[in-house]
């Protein structure tokens, strides 16, 4: 029987899964990087593909935007046999050292979102990625020489609610960037016994909706996916 939202069958989803928020990015990743990609889900626009990268089965599954959607998708992927969940997303920079198109490897995600709070029943918690996946991402980004930053991100619900002033306050505690899914994925990784991680591309400055120039963003995303796929082969 298929899950309610990700309507694959057991065997459709690989153990290793890349998780972009955007279905367009999922399609691009599948068609650009995977051999013989096959689509297993289109329901609700949550496009999911499985193919091979350097001979290893890999799936690419859209999460949609925000931790409520991402947590549904993650739970259902685990039901379908996924064992490694790696977010490949975009983020808004808080720290002045981050440039558009740079990569951010999340060492932890401050859980400002409601989905993580609901799972935890309000308990304080520190969502962190699987250490082996985190180490592999960091090593591959260094190896390739792509500009990257390692540290905390904050996971928020309301994209337009965060002001530059609020973001600056978080930067005093080491937050590099804001995004909308990582904390719930890290928590679910621990709760369901699977490896979870996140690598992001800087798409804008927080509080400024103007995106990085398209060619800068696209090259950052290409580098992010390359690093992510190489890291997936290591875990």
Ligand X SMILES: O=c1cc[nH]c(=O)[nH]1
What residues line the site for ligand R1P (CB under 6 A)? 20-22, 65, 89-90, 159, 179-181
- Does the footprint of ligand X cover residue 221 (CB under 6 A)? no
**Bridge partners, 115 (sequence order):** none
Site track 60-99 with ligand X (rule: CB under 6 A), x = hit: ------------------------------xxx-------
* Pick from 5, 190, 213, 205: nearest CA to 95: 205
In the range 126-155, which residues lie near ligand X by CB under 6 A? Answer: none
Whole-number Å distance between alpha carbons of 235 and 16: 9
Tell me, by CB under 6 A, how many residues bind ligand X. Answer: 11
Residue 206 near which of ligand X, ligand R1P, none (CB within 5-8 Å, type-dependent): ligand X
- Does the footprint of ligand X cover residue 179 (CB under 6 A)? yes
Whole-number Å distance between alpha carbons of 228 and 68: 23
DSSP state of 12: S
User: Are the C-beta atoms of residues 81 and 11 closer than 8 Å to each other?
Assistant: yes
- Does the footprint of ligand X cover residue 171 (CB under 6 A)? no
- Does the footprint of ligand X cover residue 178 (CB under 6 A)? yes
> Which residues, at least 6 apart from 81, have a Cβ–Cβ distance to it below 8 Å?
10, 11, 13, 15
The distance of closest approach from Cβ of residue 53 to ligand X in the complex, given in angstroms and rounded to an integer, is 26
| Beta strands at 195-205 and 103-111: parallel, antiparallel or unpaired | antiparallel
Q: Which residues bind ligand X (CB under 6 A)?
A: 90-92, 156, 159, 178-180, 203-204, 206
């Amino acid at each position: 029987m298929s899950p309610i939202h990700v309507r694959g069958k057991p065997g459709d989803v690989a153990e290793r899964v890349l998780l972009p928020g955007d279905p367009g990015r999922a399609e691009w990743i599948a068609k650009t990087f995977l051999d013989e990609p096959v689509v297993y889900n289109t329901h609700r626009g949550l496009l999911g593909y499985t193919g091979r990268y350097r001979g290893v089965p890999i799936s690419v599954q859209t999460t949609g935007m925000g931790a409520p959607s991402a947590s549904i998708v993650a739970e259902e992927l685990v039901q379908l046999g996924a064992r490694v969940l790696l977010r490949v997303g975009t983020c808004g920079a808080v720290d002045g050292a981050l440039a558009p198109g740079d990569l951010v490897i999340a060492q932890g995600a401050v859980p400002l979102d409601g989905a993580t709070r609901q799972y935890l029943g309000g308990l304080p918690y520190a969502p962190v990625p699987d250490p082996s996946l985190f180490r592999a991402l960091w090593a591959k980004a260094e190896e390739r020489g792509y500009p990257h930053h390692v540290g905390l991100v904050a996971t928020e619900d309301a994209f337009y609610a965060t002001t530059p002033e609020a973001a600056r306050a978080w930067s005093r505690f080491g937050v590099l960037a804001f995004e909308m899914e990582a904390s719930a994925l890290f928590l679910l990784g621990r709760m369901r016994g699977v490896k979870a991680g996140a690598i992001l591309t800087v798409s804008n400055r927080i509080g400024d909706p103007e995106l990085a120039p398209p060619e800068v963003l696209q090259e950052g995303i290409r580098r992010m996916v390359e690093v992510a796929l190489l890291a997936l082969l290591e875990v």
